[in-house]
Amino acid sequence: MSELKIRDISFYSFIVLIAGLLLTSTVLFISLNKIKLLNNQLSVISKAKNSFLEVKINSENLLITKDLSESIKLWTISIKNFDRDFKSLSPLQKKRFDNLWYVSKKEIKEIKEILNHKILEPQNLHQKSLLMLKGEMFALKDRSEMFLVIDSLTKKMEFLFQYERFILEEFKQIDHKDKTYISKQITFTTYYSILFIVFILFLTIIVIYFMNKKVLKIEHKLVMAQKSLSESILELKNSRILLQNIIDSVPAAVFWKDKNNVYLGANKCFLSDAGCERQEEILGKSDRDMPWAKSEASKYIADDESVMNSGIAKLQIEETQTNLEGKIIKVLTSKVPLKNTKDEIIGILGIYIDITEKEKIAEELFQKDKLLAQQSKMASMGEMIENIAHQWRQPLSFILTSATGIRLKSDYECLETEFLKESLLGIEKSVKHLNKTIDDFRNYFKPDKEAKYFDIELVVDNAFSLVESKLKNKLINVVKEIGEVKAFGFENEFIQVLLNIINNAIDELENLDSDEKLIFVKVKEIEICGEEVSIEVSKCRCVELKICDNAGGISKYIIDKVFDAHFTTKAEDKGTGIGLYMSSEMIKKHMKGSITVSNKVFTYNDKEYKGAEFTILIPAEDYILNNENE
C-alpha cells in the first residue's frame, strides 16, 4: 500500500507537474501573446517616432544644406512616410498628436509655398545654404527680396521646429508608458516561469541596451555633426573676411565679373579707381557704367568675352584707361577665366596696375642714357681727334720734307727724276695712310643699325690701331692672345667699349714709373649659363675677353664704383666719368653681356706684375638682339 501511495503520489506529482507545466505553458502562451501585441504596438510607435525624427532632421537640413532642391525632395518624402506611419497608430495614440500634427502640416504647407518661390531657385543661391546667405546679406545690410524671403522662411521653420519638439516629447512619453506596461507583464510572468522571465528580461535588457546605445551613438554623431557644421560655417566666414582683406591689401586693382560682364566684387584699389566707396556700389554694374571711355569699356568687354569663350588667360596687356579726373593713364592688365567645381567657366578674374609713372621714369632714364651716350661719344671724339693728330704727325712731316726737298732742288735746277719719283711715291703712301686714318675714324663713329657677327681679332686690332700713336709715344707694349673667335652684337659699340678701357689703361700706365708698360688682351670662347649674361637659355656660347695692364690696379675703396655714372679719379679737364658707365650699359643692355673688373697679380716673362683686369662676356650666337634694340 505504501508502494501504491508512493506510486499515486508519484502519479499525482507527475499529473501536477504536467498540469503545472500545462498551466505554466498556458500562462506563458497568453503572456507571450500579450507581449507580442505590446511589442507590435511598440514597433508601430517606434516606427512612427523614427519617421518623425527623419522629418525633423530633414526640416533642419533645409536651412543648412547647399543643395536645397535635393533636401526639399527628401523632406517631402519623409513627411509622406510619417503620414503613413501616423495612420498605423492606435486611436488613443493618434489623439495625442492630432492637434500638434495638424498645426505642423499647416506650417509645412506655408513653408512649401515659400520654398517654391522663384528667388530660391538653385542658380540664385550660388551653392550656399540659406543660413549662410542670410548671414552674408545681414552682414552686408542687404534687405533685398531674397533676404526677406529667406527671413520669412527661417521664421516659419522656427515655428515648425517648436511643434516638432512638442511632438517628439509626446513620442517619448508614449514610448515610456508602453515600456512600463511591458515590464509589468514580464514581472507577472516571472511567477509561472522564473527561467522564462529571466530569459525574456535578459533579452529585453540586451535589446534595450543595444537600442539605447545605438540611439546614443546617433545622437552623439548628430551633435558632433552640428558642431562641425557650425565651426565650418564660422571658418568659412573668417576665410572670406581674410581673403577680402588679402585682396584689399594687394597694391593693384583686382575685380571679378560673371558671364554677363557684370561686376561681382573688387578690392579697394579698384573701387577707388571706379569712384566707389563700398563694394555694393559696383554690384550689378558693367564697364559701361564705369568712368572710363566708351571705347575702352567696349574693348574691356570684348577682352572679357574672348577669355571666357576661349578659356585662355590674357596676361600683361598694355592698355589705356580714363580715370575719374578724365586723364588717360596706362595700365598693365591680366585676365583669367573663373571656374566652378565642375570646371565650368562662370566668369572672369582681372587685375591691373598703373604703369604711367613707370613708363615716364623709363622714358626719363632712356633720355638720360641717350644724353650720357652722346656725352661719351663727344668725349671719345675729343680723344680721337688727339689720336688723329698723333697718327698724322709723321706722314704730314714726311710730305712737308719731301715737298721742301723737291722745291729746293727745283730752285737750284738739280732736281733728278729718280729723286722726284721717290719723293712722289713717298708722298702718295703718306696720303694713303692719311686717308686710311680718316676711314678708320669715320667707321668708328658710324652707328650700328643692327647686331651682326663680327671677328673679335679684327675688332681688337682696329681698336688698338686707333690709339697706335699714343701707344708708341708712351712706349706701351700690347700682348695679344686671340684665336679665330666670332661674336654677335654691335661692332662699333664694342670698339667704343674697348677704347674706353684701353684709354684708361694708357692714362694709368703714363703715370707708371717703369720702363715696362704692358697691356694684355686674351680672348677665348666658353659655355656658360644664360642667366650670367641676361639670356633666357639654360646654356649659351659666349666670348670671354680679358684686358689687363700692369699699372698697379684700382684702389679697393673705389673699385666697386668705376661703372657708376660721373665717377672719375681724373682731373676735371681730363675725364667726365661716363666712359665706363656707358661701356657697362652697352655691354649689358645692348649686347646682353656682362662686364666686371678686379685686381690681378700675374706673371709675364718670369716677372710678377699687378694691375686691373676687365672681363667682358658677350654672346657668340644670335640671341635676337636686333629685336630688343629696335
The CATH number given to whatever domain includes residue 509 is 3.30.565.10
Which alpha helices (H) appear in 412-477, and where do they start and end?
417-445, 456-466, 468-473
Shared domain check, 412 and 347: no
Least confident of 177-181, 225-229, 232-236: 177-181
Is residue 303 very low, low, confident or very high in pLDDT (cuts 50, 70, 90)?
confident
Compute the residue count for the chain: 630
Q: Residue 388: what pLDDT?
A: 58
Q: Is residue 234 part of a domain?
A: no
Shared domain check, 64 and 166: yes
Least confident of 1-5, 78-82, 354-358, 402-406: 1-5
- Residue 419: domain span: 357-446
Inter-helix orientation angle 91-115/2-64, to 10°? 20
d(CA 441, CA 387): 10
Mean pLDDT computed over every residue of the chain: 76
First CA to last CA distance, the chain = 144
- What average pLDDT score do residues 579-587 get? 81
Which of 354, 378, 394 lies at the terminal end of a domain, its last residue?
354
Q: Is residue 211 part of a domain?
A: no
Q: Is the pLDDT of residue 20 over 60?
A: no
d(CA 519, CA 551): 9
Shared domain check, 398 and 368: yes
Q: Is residue 245 part of a domain?
A: no
Q: Residue 597: what pLDDT?
A: 92
Shared domain check, 622 and 476: yes
Q: Residue 548: what pLDDT?
A: 94
Least confident of 73-87, 110-124, 431-445, 515-529: 431-445
pLDDT digits (tens, 9 = 90+) for 257-267: 888 888 888 88
Contact 323, 291 (CB under 8 A): yes
Count the domains in the chain: 4
Q: Is residue 68 part of a domain?
A: yes
Q: Is residue 241 part of a domain?
A: no
Which of 320, 354, 388 lies at the terminal end of a domain, its last residue?
354
Shared domain check, 148 and 83: yes
Phi-psi region of 605 (alpha: psi -120 to 50; beta: other; left: phi over 0): left
The set of cell numbers assigned to 4 is 501504491
Q: Is residue 523 part of a domain?
A: yes
Q: Residue 387: what pLDDT?
A: 57
The CATH number that applies at residue 417 is 1.10.287.130
Shared domain check, 596 and 472: yes
Shared domain check, 81 and 22: yes
Q: Is residue 312 part of a domain?
A: yes
Shared domain check, 496 and 386: no
Q: Residue 530: what pLDDT?
A: 59
Least confident of 101-110, 294-303, 468-477, 588-597: 101-110
d(CA 117, CA 151): 13
Shared domain check, 276 and 377: no
Q: Is the pLDDT of residue 521 over 90?
A: yes
The set of cell numbers assigned to 534 is 641676361
Q: Is the pLDDT of residue 57 over 90?
A: no
Least confident of 97-111, 112-126, 145-159, 360-374: 360-374
pTM: 0.39
Q: Residue 16: what pLDDT?
A: 42
Q: Residue 496: what pLDDT?
A: 82
- Tell the residue number behind the cell numbers 677665348, with chain if given: 524
Per the model's pLDDT, the better-predicted residue between 443 and 231 turns out to be: 231
Shared domain check, 413 and 464: no
Q: Residue 523: what pLDDT?
A: 93
Shared domain check, 507 and 492: yes
d(CA 347, CA 286): 13
Which of 446, 479, 494 lies at the terminal end of a domain, its last residue?
446
- What average pLDDT score do residues 494-518 get? 87
Shared domain check, 460 and 437: no
The CATH number that applies at residue 341 is 3.30.450.20
- Tell the residue number behind the cell numbers 730752285, with chain if given: 411
Q: Is residue 244 part of a domain?
A: no
Is residue 4 very low, low, confident or very high in pLDDT (cuts 50, 70, 90)?
very low
